[in-house]
Each structure stands twice: as structure tokens, then as C-alpha cells.
């Protein structure tokens, strides 16, 4: 029966245990991504001695319990043979807690976890042999002794022993090794990001598109710290940019001649991490135990993060391959997040792939909006269709309730009636946008203008421009509600930012195609053309050029332009069959950009 149960557990573990519970790194085998200069060179040190004693003590406790516990139950407590056997088997069941115990050991302070396990074993043993007499109490205590003495102590003593010596010494028997291994110790950067030369000097990117801070812009590829991407936003981090060159000789850098695959590890800021404290005119860093951090590799990595000096309550990931590298609170009280460059790059690539799916759904979304704009009265569908039309024609941000209330800055869903004016078939929007920048938009579209006039002249419904009537009251349009409508008519997840991202990509593709037809193909001319195109897109979006390039324009457009691939052949159809007020970039040119990017994705 026990053999069958063991086989069943093996099958369940193989089927259900996620690989994410391990520290496996794809690619060539190697040690975990830690620095080992702080570990004594000799395998015989006070760490290995102390852990060896702990292993011996825990072994005596557990195997003494296994041998004598059934006898104790029968002779001292008068249990039957079946009850004594069941009590002993509960200890084996508790030993199966080794998996969560090892998981905790990887994430918590392991010395403290071992101390807790020894204390818990002692307390459990006292109650087991001095207090409890009933079978049910003994079964519970037997399970706990197996959990603490075997699951926690054995597992964490073994891994702590491995961490107490350098990688090349793991697996050596004490005194039994004929010679030391002669293989060189792996570079401390063996699990650092696989750096790419193509993006040297790129600045960090904000997920919510604020302007890039001056502290984040490296001066040159050779001297600047590696950029780490950051995101601004309230609440927990959710769950993008290409990375810069690594140091020569680091694994995955250029000296090795290739990229080393890195398996990112999902981490949370609630886990133990390094802390930053002000010290004189600078900062000092504390380890998970609150002591000054002295690991040179960890300190180098922290400096490369370029954490803004204004951040308070800073948490720093202890792992070089953590998807989230640092968290802090800025001067405005908002939580900020620094992500691993590879995580940001993958997120950015996935975002632009999704935007291409949205672009394919745009004709369907536009047709539904046009149909709903024909409804009578200020119905929900008509007002939401008006918002979609404005997103499509005016490149608006969607807006946030919090920004409108606290900072009096507005987006599409928070615009007030006073921010608009209508003249003939043209609507003018004049309002303070994000960061207090005054924005002026002009949208020429007869149908939309008619709807906006009705919204401005309505009786009731507050000062917000976008509101619809559903008996018995008026409802303001919110960002989530607009996104829900886009999902309904588009048949996939669509957000207002997807519109801005797609239009920015199309505008950049057209600008680069025009420059290719108008100028020479020299390197300097291409760089100037890219700079000019990005600046034009930024003006349309109301962003800085840095944010427009990093957060909105699909990077493949610029990469393809550098390879002399553009939509120049489609420029002859620019504006062909376009209706009044509809941007000339819609229609054939949009389809040409979509085909170009799809082909590039398939080829890449």
C-alpha cells in the first residue's frame, strides 16, 4: 500500500508541480544567479560546520522518532498496533511538506527559517511525549513533527549547505575528493540580462507615458549605466524595451559572441529584499537582515538600475533575474516600478502584436460606431460611439477621474462641456492635459460634430461632456465603460491606448516613407528622418519625442526603414476615397502598414 501511495505521489508531482517553483535557467547549465565572492574559498568554514551539526541533530531527532515512536504509543499510551502504525505514518505524510518548505526557504531568510523549525520541533516533541494522550492529538503532533523535523529541517539544511560553499565545491565529499575541480568559476553575470548592442543608450520607458526624466537618459553607450524600464501607477504592479550592451566578458555579452537565455523569475515586493537608506549626501543599501550590503555584484546591479534619488521606501529585488527589480514611492506619493529589461521587452513586443490584432478589427469597430451614431437622442450607444469616433480622429488620451479631481487635467472621458466649441462641422477642444500641458485639438467630422453639439446643449447630466441618458437619470461615461464598449463591438480586448499606439505607428510609417522618397539613403539622413518622424508623431499625441518612440511607435517600423522597407508604394493611394474629416492615413495606407508589419513578424 505504501509503495502504491508513493508511486501515486510521484505521478502527481510530475503532473502538477510547476517549473516556476524551481530556479532552472534555460540554456547551458550553471549555478544560480548569485555572486560568490562573499563565500569563503575553503569548503571547511564555520557555515558548513554549523549546518553539519544542525543536520546531525535533526537526523538524530527524526530517526529516533521513527524508531521509538510506535513503541512509545503502544507501551506508554496503550494504543493498538493499528493506531500506532497510523500515528507513525502521519509523520511520513508530514515529511511530504518538504516541497512548500523548500519553496519558503528560497524566498525567506533561511537561517531564521531553520531556527524556527528547530524551535517548532522541540515544542511539538514536548507536547507529543508529555501532554497529549488521545489518538487524534498524537496523529496531529506526528504530522507536525514530520513537517518540521523532516520537511523543513532536512530540506533547508541541505540547500543551506550548498549555499555555504562555492559552486565548484558543491557535491564534494569531505576529504574524499582526490583533487579540486579545475574548471573556472562562472562569471557573476552568468544570469544577467542577455544584452543587445542594437539599443545602446536607450532611455527607460514609462508604461503610462509620462515624459522621460532627465536622470534616465544615458550620456553614451560606453559610459552610461544600463537602462532599466520603469512604470508609474497606483496599486500593485501588473503583471519593455530592448536592453543595452553588457560588460565585455560577461556571459551573454559580446565577448561570448552570443546571447544567453535567461529565465525571468516572477517576484513580489512583499518578499524580502534590499533596502535603500539616505547616508550623508548619498545612499547606503541594507541586506534582507538590515545589515549594510557589501556584495560588490549586488551593489553594481543596484547602481545600474539608476533608481531616482527622490524615491522613498525603496525595495530592491535580491535576484538578478527577477521580473520586477525595484519599487519606490515618488515625490507625488505614487508607487513606481522598475522592471527587468527583458520583461519590459517581452511586454512591449506582446503589446505591439496585440495592436496589430486591434488594427485588423478597426473596420468592424468603425462600422459599429457609425451605425450607433445614427441613433436618435443621447443614448448610451450613440454617446459611446461618439467617444470612439473622437479617439479615432483626435488621438485623445482616455482620461482619469483621479487626475481630473486632484490636478484638474483631463482626457476624453473627463472633458467638460466648457472645453469644447463647435463651428460648422468642426469641433475644437481646448483643455489642460496630462502634466498640465494645454492641448488644442480640432476634429472636422459632421456626424460627430452634431453629437457633440447635442451633448453641449443637453439639460442635466452635470458638466462632463460625455454623458448619456437612461431612465431615470444621466450617467457619465467612464474609461472602463468605454473599453467595455470597444470590446463589445470589436470582438477582442481593445483599449483607448491601442488607438493612440496604432495611429502613432501609422503616422511614423508614412513620415518615414515620405522621407525615403524625398531624400538620400545615407546614414546621417536616415537618422534625421527618424528624429523628424518621431517629433511629428509626438506633436500629434501631445507627448515628448522620447515617450512617443518608446511607448507608442512600433519599433519594427524604424527597424524596417533602416533596412529600406517602407510603405512608399502605398503613398499614391494616400487620401484616396477618404471622406471629409477622416485622416488620409486611414484606409489603404493603414492596410499597407499592417501588411508590412505582419510580414516582418512572420519573417522574424
63: helix, strand or coil? helix
Which residue, among 562, 569, 576, 563, has the nearest Cα to 592 in the 3D structure?
569
- Looking at residue 434, the DSSP 8-state letter turns out to be G
CA atoms lying within 13 Å on the CB side of residue 487: 8
Please identify which residue in the block is written with the cell numbers 545600474.
304
pLDDT at 474 over 90: yes
Angle between helices 81-95 and 135-145 (to 10 degrees): 30
Q: Tell me what the mean pLDDT of segment 306-330 comes to.
A: 94
220: helix, strand or coil? coil
> How confident is residue 303, by pLDDT bands cut at 50, 70 and 90?
very high
Q: Tell me what the mean pLDDT of segment 179-192 comes to.
A: 34
Q: Tell me what the mean pLDDT of segment 341-353 comes to.
A: 89
Please give the domain boundaries of the chain with CATH numbers for all domains: 26-169 (no CATH), 197-244+265-339 (3.30.66.10), 355-494 (3.90.15.10), 498-603 (1.10.132.120)
Question: Which is more confident, 36 or 385?
Answer: 385
Q: Give me the chain's average pLDDT, please.
A: 77
Please identify which residue in the block is written with the cell numbers 473596420.
363
> How confident is residue 167, by pLDDT bands cut at 50, 70 and 90?
low
Structure confidence at residue 235 (pLDDT): 41
pLDDT in tens, 254-269: 333 344 567 899 999 9
pLDDT in tens, 119-132: 998 898 889 888 88
> How confident is residue 25, by pLDDT bands cut at 50, 70 and 90?
very low
Structure confidence at residue 360 (pLDDT): 92
Q: Tell me what the mean pLDDT of segment 209-235 comes to.
A: 35
Q: Tell me what the mean pLDDT of segment 51-78 comes to.
A: 79
- Looking at residue 153, the DSSP 8-state letter turns out to be I
Who contacts 581 (Cβ-Cβ below 8 Å, separation ≥6)?
393, 425, 443, 444, 445, 446, 448
pLDDT at 217 over 80: no
Structure confidence at residue 378 (pLDDT): 94
> How confident is residue 317, by pLDDT bands cut at 50, 70 and 90?
very high
Please identify which residue in the block is written with the cell numbers 529600406.
564
Report the C-alpha gap between 338 and 329 in whole angstroms: 11
Q: What angle do CA 207, 212, 214 make, to 5 degrees?
A: 150
Q: What angle do CA 385, 386, 387 make, to 5 degrees?
A: 90
Structure confidence at residue 38 (pLDDT): 46
Alpha helices in 186-331 (DSSP H): 296-305
Name, of 28-37, 65-74, 186-195, 227-236, the range with top average pLDDT: 65-74
Report the C-alpha gap between 249 and 406 in whole angstroms: 50
- Looking at residue 29, the DSSP 8-state letter turns out to be -
Report the C-alpha gap between 165 and 20 in whole angstroms: 25
Buried b or exposed e, range 380-410, using 16+ CB within 10 angstroms: bbbbbbbbbbbbbbbbbbbbbeebbeeeebb
Structure confidence at residue 215 (pLDDT): 30
Structure confidence at residue 40 (pLDDT): 57
pLDDT at 250 over 60: no
Pair 419, 410: CB distance under 8 Å: yes
Structure confidence at residue 242 (pLDDT): 33
Report the C-alpha gap between 434 and 218 in whole angstroms: 25
Report the C-alpha gap between 464 and 477 in whole angstroms: 9
Q: Tell me what the mean pLDDT of segment 16-32 comes to.
A: 45
Which residue, among 333, 336, 306, 326, has the nearest Cα to 232 in the 3D structure?
336
Pair 128, 141: CB distance under 8 Å: yes
Angle between helices 46-75 and 81-95 (to 10 degrees): 160
- Give the rounded percent of residues in the chain with a pLDDT score beyond 70: 75
DSSP string, 468-506: EEETTEEEE--HHHHHHHHHHHHSS---HHHHHHHHHHH
Amino acid at each position: 500500500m505504501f509503495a502504491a501511495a508513493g508511486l501515486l505521489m510521484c505521478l502527481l508531482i510530475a503532473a502538477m508541480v510547476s517549473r516556476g517553483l524551481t530556479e532552472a535557467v534555460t540554456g547551458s547549465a550553471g549555478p544560480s544567479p548569485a555572486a560568490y565572492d562573499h563565500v569563503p574559498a575553503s569548503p571547511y568554514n564555520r557555515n558548513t560546520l554549523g549546518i553539519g551539526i544542525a543536520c546531525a541533530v535533526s537526523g538524530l531527532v527524526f530517526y529516533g522518532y521513527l524508531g521509538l515512536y510506535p513503541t512509545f504509543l503502544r507501551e506508554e499510551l496503550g494504543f493498538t498496533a493499528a493506531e500506532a502504525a497510523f500515528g507513525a505514518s502521519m509523520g511520513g505524510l508530514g515529511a511530504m511538506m518538504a516541497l512548500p518548505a523548500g519553496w519558503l526557504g528560497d524566498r525567506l531568510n533561511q537561517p531564521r527559517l531553520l531556527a524556527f523549525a528547530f524551535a517548532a520541533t522541540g515544542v511539538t516533541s514536548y507536547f507529543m511525549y508529555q501532554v497529549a494522550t488521545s489518538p487524534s492529538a498524537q496523529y496531529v503532533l506526528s504530522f507536525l513533527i514530520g513537517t518540521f523535523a523532516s520537511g523543513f529541517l532536512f530540506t533547508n539544511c541541505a540547500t543551506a549547505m550548498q549555499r555555504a560553499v562555492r559552486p565548484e565545491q558543491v557535491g564534494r565529499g569531505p576529504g574524499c575528493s582526490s583533487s579540486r575541480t579545475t574548471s573556472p568559476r562562472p562569471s557573476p553575470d552568468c544570469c544577467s540580462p542577455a544584452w543587445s548592442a542594437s539599443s545602446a543608450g536607450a532611455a527607460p520607458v514609462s508604461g503610462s507615458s509620462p515624459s522621460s526624466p532627465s536622470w534616465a537618459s544615458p550620456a553614451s553607450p560606453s559610459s552610461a549605466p544600463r537602462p532599466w524600464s520603469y512604470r508609474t501607477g497606483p496599486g500593485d504592479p501588473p503583471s519593455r524595451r530592448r536592453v543595452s550592451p553588457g560588460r565585455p566578458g560577461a556571459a551573454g555579452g559580446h565577448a561570448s559572441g552570443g546571447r544567453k537565455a535567461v529565465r525571468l523569475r516572477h517576484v513580489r515586493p512583499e518578499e524580502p529584499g534590499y533596502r535603500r537608506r539616505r547616508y550623508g549626501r548619498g545612499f547606503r543599501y541594507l541586506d534582507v537582515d538590515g545589515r549594510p550590503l557589501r556584495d560588490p555584484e549586488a551593489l553594481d546591479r543596484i547602481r545600474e538600475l539608476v533608481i531616482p534619488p527622490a524615491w522613498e521606501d525603496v525595495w530592491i529585488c535580491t535576484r538578478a533575474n527577477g521580473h520586477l527589480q525595484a519599487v519606490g514611492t515618488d515625490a507625488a506619493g505614487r508607487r513606481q516600478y522598475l522592471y527587468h529589461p527583458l520583461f519590459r521587452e517581452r511586454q512591449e513586443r506582446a503589446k505591439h502584436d496585440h495592436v496589430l490584432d486591434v488594427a485588423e478589427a478597426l473596420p468592424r469597430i468603425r462600422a459599429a460606431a457609425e451605425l450607433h451614431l445614427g441613433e436618435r437622442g443621447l443614448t448610451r450607444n450613440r454617446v459611446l460611439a461618439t467617444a470612439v469616433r473622437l479617439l479615432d480622429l483626435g488621438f485623445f488620451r482616455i482620461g482619469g477621474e483621479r487626475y481630473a479631481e486632484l490636478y484638474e487635467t483631463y482626457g476624453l472621458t473627463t472633458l467638460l462641456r466648457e472645453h469644447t466649441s463647435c463651428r460648422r462641422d468642426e469641433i475644437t477642444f481646448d483643455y489642460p492635459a496630462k502634466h498640465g500641458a494645454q492641448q488644442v485639438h480640432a476634429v472636422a467630422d459632421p456626424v460627430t460634430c452634431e453629437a457633440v453639439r447635442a451633448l453641449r446643449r443637453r439639460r442635466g447630466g452635470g458638466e462632463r461632456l460625455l454623458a448619456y441618458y437612461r431612465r431615470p437619470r444621466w450617467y457619465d461615461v467612464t474609461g472602463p465603460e468605454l473599453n467595455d464598449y470597444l470590446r463589445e463591438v470589436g470582438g477582442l480586448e481593445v483599449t483607448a491606448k491601442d488607438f493612440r499606439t496604432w495611429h502613432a505607428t501609422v503616422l511614423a510609417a508614412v513620415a518615414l516613407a515620405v522621407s525615403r522618397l524625398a531624400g538620400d539613403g545615407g546614414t546621417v539622413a536616415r537618422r534625421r528622418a527618424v528624429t523628424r518622424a518621431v517629433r511629428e508623431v509626438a506633436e500629434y499625441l501631445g507627448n515628448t519625442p522620447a515617450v512617443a518612440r518608446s511607448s507608442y511607435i512600433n519599433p519594427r517600423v524604424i527597424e524596417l526603414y533602416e533596412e529600406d522597407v517602407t510603405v512608399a508604394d502605398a503613398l499614391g493611394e494616400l487620401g484616396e476615397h477618404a471622406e471629409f474629416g477622416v485622416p488620409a492615413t486611414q484606409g489603404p495606407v493603414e492596410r499597407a502598414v499592417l501588411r508590412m508589419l505582419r510580414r516582418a513578424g512572420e519573417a522574424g
